[in-house]
Amino acid sequence: MTGFPAIDGRRLLARLDAFAAIGATPAGGVNRPALSEADRAARALLADLGAARGFSLFQDAAANLFLRRAGADDRRPPFLIGSHLDSQPTGGRFDGALGTLAALEVLETLEDRGIVTAGPVELVAWTNEEGSRFAPGAFGSQSAAAGALPAGWPETVGSDGARLGDELAATLAALPQAAMRPLGGPFAGYLELHIEQGPLLEREGALIGVVEGIQGTRWLEVAIEGQVAHAGTTPLADRRDAMAAAAAVITRLQTTVMPADADARLTVGRLTIAPGAVNVIPGEVAFSIDLRHPSGAEIDRLEAEITALAARIAAAGGCRASVRRSMDVAPARFDRRLVGIVEGAAERRGFASRRLFSGAFHDALFMARLGPAAMVFVPCRAGLSHNEAEYVEPHQAIAGAQVLCDATLEAVAASVAA
Amino acid sequence: MTGFPAIDGRRLLARLDAFAAIGATPAGGVNRPALSEADRAARALLADLGAARGFSLFQDAAANLFLRRAGADDRRPPFLIGSHLDSQPTGGRFDGALGTLAALEVLETLEDRGIVTAGPVELVAWTNEEGSRFAPGAFGSQSAAAGALPAGWPETVGSDGARLGDELAATLAALPQAAMRPLGGPFAGYLELHIEQGPLLEREGALIGVVEGIQGTRWLEVAIEGQVAHAGTTPLADRRDAMAAAAAVITRLQTTVMPADADARLTVGRLTIAPGAVNVIPGEVAFSIDLRHPSGAEIDRLEAEITALAARIAAAGGCRASVRRSMDVAPARFDRRLVGIVEGAAERRGFASRRLFSGAFHDALFMARLGPAAMVFVPCRAGLSHNEAEYVEPHQAIAGAQVLCDATLEAVAASVAA
């Protein structure tokens, strides 16, 4: 395996333990909200570890944190690897941290071996990926992709009442040794290691997920309008029951969309019913649809199908349906060359892999809008994530970091020095 | 039509107008909450109208109000006719008032004609039938049927913050001329005229509904337990989606129970979903079922069917279902002799009639537990009730009151005096 150095798996595991201690929960998980004291402690530890190896430290206006290892030609745009350090309130030890610390392991491995890369390689820890303290998530990578912070961002109020402007300023101020740099800017490529947060790899015995892209997500709000009437006196023929129509629409969608297309995801996660009395036939029901698919065209087709189907089923029950979009995030297709490099790296190591699309958002979704990006997935037990019981086997974490290292070296056209 | 005097239809309509003015709403409806100032004003007017004709006035501990016209043998138990004077907050002019004022018209017609009945005939205006200010409803008739007020009743707090104990005492005190009598007690029979509050009579062109009984009502709470999971990353095979299972159960019930049995009513009026986020597969859904049928045995059978079906459908979706009762009111079967008398009265007058079961509660439901009872329905436009647009044609109101009068006379075995 000439030219592809082995990472230090034990060091990686020790780092995972060290960061899991910051915001550790009694149940073995992590509570490290974005821009909190715990988040700042994790950033400080990362900065210290980088400084100890001589890496340069940068921050930008979104408090994205960068550790830079110089390349032979340092004017080249950097190749970025990383993920995020913030967690859900009852999150796990690996979501975000694995990708960030594997990136550190890559930089340290290059340093250990004295490898000179053509251009610089940078670890990035994106700010507020989770969005659970300050909504929405992917604050850092979205701002980087947009080249600007979102309008009015400082006034965003957190779930704990904190003001985003204050917490971001305090976070930036906590690392005065970091040089400020502009948001966004050119980069040679972006690779992110992350846990799958789904069950596919584990079920198929694959060690590495070669991520081809991220599903597009469209949120629809379906409103069904019927007529309020007396539950006892109104016979079937006179009912215009909004709940009966809504249930029929949902049942129809559940039995068609996903069974027909293994790539489609359809979820009804919210439903409201009015007037909401046991003995009153509902006059209005509104429900959400979370619709995902790797193909934007297919999402369009499914929305049209849902709209037609809701109208038809509602009309059959004497009701009216309307469908409107409440959110729309286009799918990301990752860079074909980078995806191929990830797949080749897994193959060279003899790691069973499979290609897949991510069903969850990641910072890579937004980076893919700005330049070549791809992701590496490793399995997590039972697909469990955003949960204190989230778990990745040590050999799986190490394999993922190894593929990240190999793929990074290949992507930056490394030449081993001396 | 020997022996069956015609009522004074114009007087009845004038009385309906006079009472509709008490608590009148700008939209032509009535807002006369139980035990409110408006309710007390209506009671006072009724008492004055009764006193002007020499009828005796009584109240009981539930503030049920009685106007008594003596019979030949006044020691006989009274034959009761009446309904209620309270209304929904945006109620109509006829719900309750029609039955109460038709009963007054019956007493006045007997008085006008000098008819001597074998026993006394009493108008009764039951307290708080609607239950919209102080829940639950049918306070007066339920207390009469039970022979006692419900435990802790004075502390019931109204929708406007008022205390039931205070408002009931003030209402009793407002009619000091009324003699107090014990709750409940023997009665020879009970007849109540009411609007149908459903569409059957109007649709079939029937003027009189011969009510055979009141549907039983059972409330079920169905809980479906699935597993919370990520909307995007969880493929169909791994989903244990409580909302998908709940929709399938509801759809199945809507497409079987009522289509199979025209007497059955099934309504899902409340539904809650947890955790209730657009992008999270629901782990728990709970919904109510309002189940009604004239046959108690059929309600038992339907509950068993619902329980089995919910378990089977939930299991097919990887979920678990539980069903529990939250309310159960047994059906009332009205007295066969009284029902026959109502039907005969309509026939003698040449009024098209049909037998039917009431889907709504009425005070007669509780009186039927205590003695022989029956009801007379008249159509209301489009089945609309609990609505300011509630409407009964004048000839329909008069026909209903005429049937009430004829049936009362037949039931009390009247003999026309000189």
Predicted confidence (pLDDT) per residue in B49-87, tens digit: 999 999 999 999 999 999 999 999 999 999 999 999 999
DSSP string across A245-308: HHHHHHHHHHHHHHHH-TT-EEE---EEEES--TTEE-SEEEEEEEEEES-HHHHHHHHHHHHH
Q: Which domains does chain A have, with CATH numbers?
A: 9-214+331-411 (3.40.630.10), 216-329 (3.30.70.360)
**The pLDDT value given to residue A2:** 58
Q: Kindly state the average pLDDT of the residues B344-357.
A: 97
ipTM, 2 decimals?
A: 0.85
Residue B235: its chain A contacts at CB < 8 A?
Answer: 198-200, 262, 265
User: Does the pLDDT of residue B250 top 70, yes or no?
Assistant: yes
pLDDT at B417: 42
Taking the C-alpha atoms of residue A175 and residue A179, their distance in angstroms, rounded to an integer, is: 9
Contact status of B199 with chain A (Cβ, < 8 Å): yes
- Winning range, highest mean pLDDT, from A182-186, B184-188, B378-382, B414-418: B378-382
Chain B: residue whose CA lies nearest to A221: B278
Q: How far is CA B310 from CA A201, A255, B223, B346, in A?
A: 33, 17, 9, 45
| Per-residue model confidence (pLDDT) at position A418 | 34
The helix-helix angle for B336-348 and B394-411 (nearest 10°) equals: 130
Instruction: Give the model's pLDDT for residue B243.
Output: 98
Confidence of residue B187 (pLDDT cuts 50, 70, 90): very high
CA-nearest residue to A195 within chain B is B233
Question: Distances from the Cα of A109 to the Cαs of A18, A405, B206, in angstroms?
Answer: 19, 8, 91
Strands B216-225 and B320-329: antiparallel
Q: What is the pLDDT of residues B2-59, one digit of tens each?
A: 579 999 999 999 999 999 999 999 999 999 999 999 999 999 999 999 999 999 999 9
Chain B contact for A247 (CB, 8 A cutoff): yes
Q: How far apart are CA B65 and CA A63, in angstroms?
A: 75
pLDDT on residue B377: 98
Query: Splitting chain A (418 residues) into consecutive groups of 10 residues, what average pLDDT does each group show?
Result: 86 98 96 97 98 98 98 95 95 97 98 95 97 92 95 94 97 98 93 95 97 96 94 93 98 97 96 91 97 97 98 98 95 97 98 95 95 97 90 98 97 61
Asked if A281 is an interface residue toward chain B (Cβ–Cβ < 8 A), one would say: yes
- Containing A85, the helix (H) or strand (E) segment is none
| CA B44, B50, B53, B58 torsion-angle sign | negative
Q: B251 — contact with chain A (CB < 8 Å)? A: yes
The pLDDT score that the predictor gives to residue B413 is 76
pLDDT at B309 over 80: yes
Query: How many other CB atoms sit within 10 Å of the CB of residue A148?
Result: 14
Quote the pLDDT of residue B120: 97
Type and span of the H or E element at B255: helix B242-260
For residue A281, give the chain B residue with the closest CA: B269
pLDDT digits (tens, 9 = 90+) for B358-400: 999 999 999 999 999 999 999 999 988 888 999 999 999 999 9
For chain B, the average pLDDT equals 95
In what helix (H) or strand (E) does residue B97 lie, and over which residues does it extend? helix B97-113
Token pair in block for residue B307: 């329980």
pTM comes to 0.85
Tokens of A99: 């990708």
